[in-house]
């Protein structure tokens, strides 16, 4: 087998309820993730050492990709090799279309795709529950990235259960040139909400998903990190207002930002909203649909 490849989907948090900071420094979450069709691509070949080449779309801030061996994809590979007690290494090529430090979990998606790609390349057939254990060590949203689709996340986000999501949801995704640090956004949340209790329930979003009606989902979308993100990046408020005035059902910051996402009626509507944002806002506007599948090695 020469090259093994997989796609790595971005995620949007349809609901992000953030609770108080825990003793381990993480926040208790109640979240609903949806994987969407904005994909990085990971390809792997056998190699004697770790080598990672990262290629980026023009709107992705290349300087923000960690280029060292600390890169999350080599950490994923090293954990998988360690689990099986093998000495394998790999030559990895990561094509990034998901904005870096954008609140879309691109790095987490790459790590999840790397696990499945190397598992196939090395012929390991690791059971899913063991891959999930490795994913938990790599980051809070890597377990969801392995599963894809739509999922409910608890704990620090790593305890994931699949959610039945019969709808087809259309999003306009507006990346930003400059990313935001997730820890910095959470710290700002702590400053703004010092008395946070249990994270807000996701019941409304779960009920809206069942209806398959984008207007219902638009009403239910919720992100507790949006206020701290707006505080750090006041310009994003205007972007959300602009997208909604261009006809989006609802605009929202994705996860810890700064990417903004706009829910639309259908594909045609998403095209119209994206064109409006490009023309009036002079921004990059991408179209994505969810739920998208998790990584499959080919």
Report, in Å, the least distance between residue 298 CB and ligand C5P. 27
Asked if residue 50 binds ligand C5P (CB under 6 A), the reply is no
Q: What letter does residue 64 receive in the DSSP assignment? A: G
Q: Which stretch binds ligand C5P (CB under 6 A): 114-122, 125-133, 181-189, 199-207?
A: 181-189
Pick the catalytic residue from 95, 110, 119, 141: 141
Residue 19: phi and psi, rounded to 5, are: -100, -165
- Please compute Rg for the chain using Cα positions: 19
Task: Using CB under 6 A, pick the residue from 45, 93, 130, 186 that binds ligand C5P.
Answer: 186
Q: Are 120 and 297 in contact (CB under 8 A)?
A: yes
Residue 15 half-sphere exposure, CB side, CA atoms within 13 Å? 26
Report, in Å, the least distance between residue 144 CB and ligand C5P. 11
Task: Using CB under 6 A, pick the residue from 1, 128, 166, 183 that binds ligand C5P.
Answer: 183
* Residue 11 is a catalytic residue: yes
**How many residues lie near ligand C5P (CB under 6 A)?**
10
Element (H, E) at 103: none
81-89 long-range Cβ contacts below 8 angstroms, 24+ apart: 81/118, 81/122, 83/126, 83/130, 83/134, 84/122, 84/124, 84/126, 86/122, 86/124, 88/46, 88/118, 88/122, 89/46, 89/47, 89/48, 89/49, 89/50
Report, in Å, the least distance between residue 157 CB and ligand C5P. 5
CB atoms within 10 A of CB 37: 18
Judged by beta carbon, residue 5 or residue 188, the one nearer ligand C5P is 188
Judged by beta carbon, residue 104 or residue 172, the one nearer ligand C5P is 104
Asked if residue 103 binds ligand C5P (CB under 6 A), the reply is no
Per-residue x/- track, 22-41, ligand C5P (CB under 6 A): ----xx-x------------
Cα–Cα dist 14/22, whole Å:
23
Asked if residue 137 binds ligand C5P (CB under 6 A), the reply is no
Judged by beta carbon, residue 180 or residue 240, the one nearer ligand C5P is 180
SS3 of 13, please?
A: strand
Judged by beta carbon, residue 26 or residue 230, the one nearer ligand C5P is 26
Cα–Cα dist 195/190, whole Å:
8
Q: Which stretch binds ligand C5P (CB under 6 A): 1-9, 180-188, 222-230, 271-279?
A: 180-188
Asked if residue 188 binds ligand C5P (CB under 6 A), the reply is no
Cα–Cα dist 238/242, whole Å:
6
Report, in Å, the least distance between residue 72 CB and ligand C5P. 9
Active site residues: 11, 141
- Contact positions vs ligand C5P (CB under 6 A): 26-27, 29, 139-140, 156-157, 182-183, 186
């Amino acid at each position: 087998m020469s090259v093994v490849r997989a796609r790595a989907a971005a995620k949007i948090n349809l609901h992000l309820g953030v609770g108080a900071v825990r003793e381990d420094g993480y926040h208790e979450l109640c979240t609903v993730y949806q994987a969407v069709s904005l994909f990085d691509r990971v390809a792997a070949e056998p190699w004697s050492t770790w080598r990672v080449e990262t290629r980026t779309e023009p709107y992705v801030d290349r300087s923000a990709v960690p280029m060292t061996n600390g890169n999350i994809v080599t950490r994923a590979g090293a954990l998988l090799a360690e689990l099986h007690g093998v000495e394998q290494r790999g030559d990895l090529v990561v094509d990034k279309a998901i904005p870096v430090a954008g609140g879309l979990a691109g790095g987490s998606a790459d790590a999840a795709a790397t696990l499945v790609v190397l598992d196939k390349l090395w012929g390991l057939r690791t059971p899913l529950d063991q891959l999930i254990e490795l994913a938990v060590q790599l980051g809070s949203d890597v377990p969801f990235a392995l599963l894809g689709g739509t999922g409910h996340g608890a704990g620090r986000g790593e305890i994931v259960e699949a959610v039945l999501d019969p709808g087809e949801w259309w999003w306009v995704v507006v990346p930003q040139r400059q990313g935001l640090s997730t820890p910095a956004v959470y710290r700002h949340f702590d400053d703004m909400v010092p008395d946070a209790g249990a994270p807000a329930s996701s019941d409304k979003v779960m009920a809206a998903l069942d209806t398959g009606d984008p207007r219902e989902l638009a009403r239910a979308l919720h992100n507790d990190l949006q206020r701290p993100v707006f505080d750090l990046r006041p310009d994003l408020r205007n972007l959300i207002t602009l997208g909604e005035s261009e006809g989006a059902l609802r605009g929202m910051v994705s996860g810890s930002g700064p990417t903004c996402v706009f829910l639309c009626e259908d594909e045609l509507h998403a095209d119209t909203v994206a064109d409006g944002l490009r023309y009036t806002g002079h921004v990059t506007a991408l179209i994505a649909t969810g739920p998208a599948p998790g990584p499959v090695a080919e």
